Amino acid sequence: MLLTITYTRQPAADLGYLLHKNPSRPQTFDLSHGQAHIFYPEVTDERCTVVLLLDIDPLDLARGKRGSAAGGLFDYVNDRPYVASSFLSVAIAKVFGTAMTGRCKDRPELAAQALPFQAGIVMLPCRGQTAMIRRLFEPLGYTVGAEDYELDEQFPQWGKSRYFNVTLTAAVRLQDLLRHLYVLIPVLDSDKHYWIGEAEIDKLLRHGEGWLAGHPERELIIGRYLKRKRNLVDQALNRLLPDVSAAEEEAGQLPEEEAEDKRSLNEERLGTVVAALKSAQAKRVLDLGCGEGKLLALLLRDKSFEQLAGVDVSCSALERAKSRLKLERLSDLQRQRITLLQGSLTYRDQRFAGYDAATLVEVIEHLDPHRLAALEQVLFRFAKPHTVIVSTPNKEYNARYGLTASDMRHRDHRFEWTRGEFAAWATRVAECYGYSVRFMPVGAADPEVGSPTQMGVFTLWN
Ligand code: SAH
């Protein structure tokens, strides 16, 4: 297992200071399943390369540690000693731990700067094509080079191997490079050699600080890093995502008068949702991305809604919902009408089944666009309520708020759609899953750009 890091700014030997590893002295570190060796094959003024060579003991992996009663981690014949995997991450943290924190006694100014680095990872496993490697590293600013192999040159019909030699080139801070590698190598590989528990969330968030929350693949990264253990993934997302509610986000930093307008837009929107639910004669309603529970509070007041559930990924939003709804003070009868659930809308969840209607009020724009496909499955394919109501900002209207074409209404929005874009998405989803959809503008319509909020009401064909 081989990782190289090349630094190309003069004097390149500064890499030794940055890594706290003297270029003229090879070093060896003991790890729980082998050894890590550090040496510099190239040290000139222009280029300096360090190698982290990981020597995993395959017998130890297969049989368990010498003298220990515990069995091995893997079968005898496996790729673990040879490929870049979670073992490499453990070695990076052990050997370059200080550099990962950004500390550098001798060259602190260098540690704080983005510098020209190239990392080479030999035998990086990646199911699927190199597209996945690009999806993970390119948003972080890397130029990705990947070399692939035939499984066997004599038998081209066997196809390509799932291992790649990858080079990543960027101007980054060294600590960021190391933290990106630490998190993303095991995301690309599918096996982790250690037990995944809550401590892994801390590690992920610590090493993901400053880049993971804004990464377009954050959910995929978190899902794979935590091996898709749903409660851990939910907890991680909850800790990572900012708390927002539609009313709050719209009022934002606006002058009092406009903020007032937007608060009333929020009320109008919720009123429209309640009316649409009533006209669909929904009795059991699931509010997805319920935030602090404003819609649920309205629904609770109306006896025609017999069973209500609110779902959010954010625990603190749910805490606020609990106090807004005064759950603790409700009579037993009322209390049985409502449930709050922590969960993510992009993971299939049995608890979402059995409702007449589901609402997503100003929620979809908080999901990364490519996660919408997961939401579609979770909601329209598996939960499959009779009615689905989705509201989202109409991007065309942003000009009336004095925003430019590239601005979004809130910093956590992953996208905002024009009326045409929303209609195209909604129509495709409706067709695909057997629903019809009609559109309802919310808020005073401008002749040119339409209403500030757009809403789609989906009804299942029976
Ligand atoms: N519907 C509420 C809140 C809208 S703000 C209202 O009208 O006031 C968006 C909400 O979606 C936030 O509370 C956020 O925590 C939640 N959210 C974002 N991504 C989510 C996900 N993947 N799963 C569940 N909830 C999510």
User: What mean pLDDT do residues 288-292 have?
Assistant: 95
Token pair for residue 459? 């009804």
Query: Ligand 1 within 6 A of 81 CB?
Result: no
Q: Tell me: the pLDDT tens digits for 130-142?
A: 889 999 999 999 9
Task: Confirm whether 2-194 and 254-460 share one CATH topology.
Answer: no
Task: Return the number of other C-beta atoms located less than 10 Å from residue 350's C-beta.
Answer: 8
Q: In the chain, pLDDT over 70 holds for what percent of residues?
A: 90
pLDDT at residue 271, as a whole number:
96
Measured from the Cα of 245, ligand 1's closest atom is 5
Nearest alpha carbon, ligand 1 atom 13 = 291
Higher per-residue pLDDT: 406 or 451:
451
pLDDT above 90 for 356 = yes
pLDDT at residue 231, as a whole number:
86
Domain 254-460 in CATH 3.40.1190.10? no
Q: 290 alpha carbon to ligand 1 midpoint, in Å?
A: 6
User: What mean pLDDT do residues 361-372 have?
Assistant: 92
**DSSP β-ladder status, 387-393 and 357-361:** parallel
Query: Ligand 1 within 6 A of 314 CB?
Result: yes
pLDDT at residue 119, as a whole number:
97
Q: Which residue type is seen at 84?
A: A
pLDDT at residue 124, as a whole number:
87
Token pair for residue 288? 């997805």
Q: Which residue type is seen at 243?
A: D
Higher per-residue pLDDT: 283 or 209:
283
Q: 219 alpha carbon to ligand 1 midpoint, in Å?
A: 15
Lowest-pLDDT range, 10-19, 63-72, 142-151, 429-438? 63-72
Query: Residue 331 — φ and ψ, nearest 5°?
Result: -65, 160
Nearest alpha carbon, ligand 1 atom 18 = 366
What span, in angstroms and rounded, lies between the C-alpha atoms of 430 and 388? 10
Q: Tell me: the pLDDT tens digits for 50-100?
A: 999 998 876 666 565 555 555 555 555 566 667 778 888 989 999 999 999
Q: 123 alpha carbon to ligand 1 midpoint, in Å?
A: 39
Q: 137 alpha carbon to ligand 1 midpoint, in Å?
A: 27
User: What mean pLDDT do residues 311-337 have?
Assistant: 91
Nearest alpha carbon, ligand 1 atom 22 = 344
The CA angle 160-166-172, to the nearest 5 degrees, is 155
Query: Ligand 1 within 6 A of 5 CB?
Result: no
Query: Ligand 1 within 6 A of 262 CB?
Result: no
Q: 240 alpha carbon to ligand 1 midpoint, in Å?
A: 13
Nearest alpha carbon, ligand 1 atom 6 = 246
User: What mean pLDDT do residues 163-181 have?
Assistant: 94
What span, in angstroms and rounded, lies between the C-alpha atoms of 18 and 21? 8
Query: Ligand 1 within 6 A of 245 CB?
Result: yes
What span, in angstroms and rounded, lies between the C-alpha atoms of 300 and 170? 53
pTM check: above 0.75: no
Where along the chain do its domains lie? 2-194, 254-460
Measured from the Cα of 375, ligand 1's closest atom is 22
pLDDT above 90 for 40 = yes
Measured from the Cα of 362, ligand 1's closest atom is 4
pLDDT at residue 161, as a whole number:
81
pLDDT at residue 155, as a whole number:
87
CB 294 within 8 A of CB 270: yes
Query: Ligand 1 within 6 A of 317 CB?
Result: yes
Which fold would CATH assign to domain 2-194? Answer: c-terminal autoproteolytic domain of nucleoporin nup98 (3.30.1610)
Lowest-pLDDT range, 11-25, 73-87, 130-144, 213-227? 73-87
What span, in angstroms and rounded, lies between the C-alpha atoms of 235 and 57? 35
Query: Ligand 1 within 6 A of 413 CB?
Result: no
Query: Ligand 1 within 6 A of 223 CB?
Result: no
Q: 291 alpha carbon to ligand 1 midpoint, in Å?
A: 5
pLDDT at residue 85, as a whole number:
81
Q: Which residue type is seen at 345?
A: L
What average pLDDT does the chain have?
Answer: 89
Token pair for residue 430? 């409706």
Query: Ligand 1 within 6 A of 344 CB?
Result: yes
SS (H, E, C) the chain: CEEEEEECCCCHHHHHHHHCCCCCCCEEEEECCEEEEEEEEEECCCCEEEEEEEEECHHHHHHCCCCCCCCCCCCCCCCCCCCCCHHHHHHHHHHCHHHHCCCCCCCHHHHCCCEEEEEEEEEEECCCCCHHHHHHHHHHCCEEEEECCECCCCCHHHCECCEEEEEEEEEECHHHHHHHHHHHHHHHCCCCCCCCCHHHHHHHHHHHCCCCCCCCCHHHHHHHHCCCCHHHHHHHHHHHCCCCCHHHHHHCCCCHHHHHHHHHHHHHHHHHHHHHHHHCCCCEEEEECCCCCHHHHHHHCCCCCCEEEEEECCHHHHHHHHHHCCHHHCCHHHHCCEEEEECCCCCCCHHHCCCCEEEEECCHHHCCHHHHHHHHHHHHHHHCCCEEEEEEEEHHHHHHHCCCCCCCCCCCCCCCECHHHHHHHHHHHHHHHCEEEEEEEECCCECCCECCEEEEEEEECC
Q: Tell me: the pLDDT tens digits for 230-262?
A: 889 988 988 887 666 666 666 655 566 666 677
User: What mean pLDDT do residues 368-372 have?
Assistant: 88
Query: Ligand 1 within 6 A of 455 CB?
Result: no
The CA angle 400-214-397, to the nearest 5 degrees, is 10
Q: Tell me: the pLDDT tens digits for 101-120?
A: 999 988 899 999 999 999 99
